[in-house]
A and B are shown apart, each in its own frame.
Chain A
Amino acid sequence: QQQVKQSPQSLIVQKGGISIINCAYENTAFDYFPWYQQFPGKGPALLIAIRPDVSEKKEGRFTISFNKSAKQFSLHIMDSQPGDSATYFCAASTPGYQGGKLIFGQGTELSVKP
């Protein structure tokens, strides 16, 4: 129940296209859903995050869509660029005294072809 399932495992998109990565969860106690971007040899970097009381959040070319009833959320990268080629992780966390720790999806390796 603590799992976050992410798909696809890998994604190839043409420059200028839309990249879509999906995540699903079971634990309804999750109340914070961030996305992280990781380049080889670097630590994960926070990209964008959403709370379950919001259905969509947009920051530049990055948009999170959130479907609370389906327990799914997704990352959309508009006008994908070769510089976006990286591994993307969705995550979720719960509130409370012991809250805050992130449960990560398995990651999606995105390759944007020029």
Chain B
Amino acid sequence: DSGVTQTPKHLITATGQRVTLRCSPRSGDLSVYWYQQSLDQGLQFLIQYYNGEERAKGNILERFSAQQFPDLHSELNLSSLELGDSALYFCASSERAGSSYNEQFFGPGTRLTVL
């Protein structure tokens, strides 16, 4: 158990809908990262937050957004969902940001299925 929690575990929804994925980092970790895992694209970085501030963006679609709250939990919002958005979404947390030497611990993921 990494100490990172994600809810829900599974999410099934229809095209055009909007969903929210939630992540609670390990106790004491200030940085949260979101990754998408799909069969064709592998593990791709989406977005990073540090202590409530957005730090870096990766291959994140404009239909997707995220935020990190004062209690450090983070939410990833996916809207106007398309079939291709079906994937595993992982949250990871680390103690620091800006340094490469910080270990990232991954949550169990949310499996999103768009029908």
A and B bind: yes
Residue among A34, A102, A106 with the highest chain B CB neighbour number at 10 A: A102
Q: Chain B contacts of A42 at CB under 8 A?
A: 108-109
Partner of B98, one of A30, A100, A105, A107: A100
> Which residues of B (70-115) have their CB < 8 Å from a CB of A?
90, 92, 94, 96-109
Interface size counted on chain B using CB atoms at 8 A: 30
| Chain B minimum-CB-distance residue to A36 | B106
> Which residues of A (79-108) have their CB < 8 Å from a CB of B?
89, 93-107
On chain A, which size bracket covers the interface?
20 to 34
| CB contact under 8 A between A100 and B2, given known A43-B109, A44-B106 | no
Cβ of B42 within 8 Å of any chain A Cβ, yes or no, is yes
| Contact of B43 with A32 in the complex, beta carbons under 8 Å | no
Q: Chain A, 9-23, contact with B by CB distance < 8 Å: what is the 0/1 string?
A: 000000000000000
Q: Chain A contacts of B90 at CB under 8 A?
A: 43-44
**With A and B bound together, what is the CA distance between A93 and B103 in angstroms?**
11
Q: Chain A contacts of B109 at CB under 8 A?
A: 42-43
| Contact of A46 with B94 in the complex, beta carbons under 8 Å | no
| Contact of A43 with B108 in the complex, beta carbons under 8 Å | yes
| Contact of B100 with A43 in the complex, beta carbons under 8 Å | no
Q: Chain A contacts of B107 at CB under 8 A?
A: 43
Q: Chain A contacts of B55 at CB under 8 A?
A: 97-98, 100
19 new A-B contacts, CB < 8 A, other than A101-B48, A104-B43, are: A34-B103, A42-B108, A43-B90, A43-B109, A44-B106, A89-B43, A98-B56, A99-B56, A99-B99, A100-B31, A100-B48, A100-B94, A100-B96, A100-B97, A100-B99, A100-B100, A101-B56, A102-B92, A107-B42
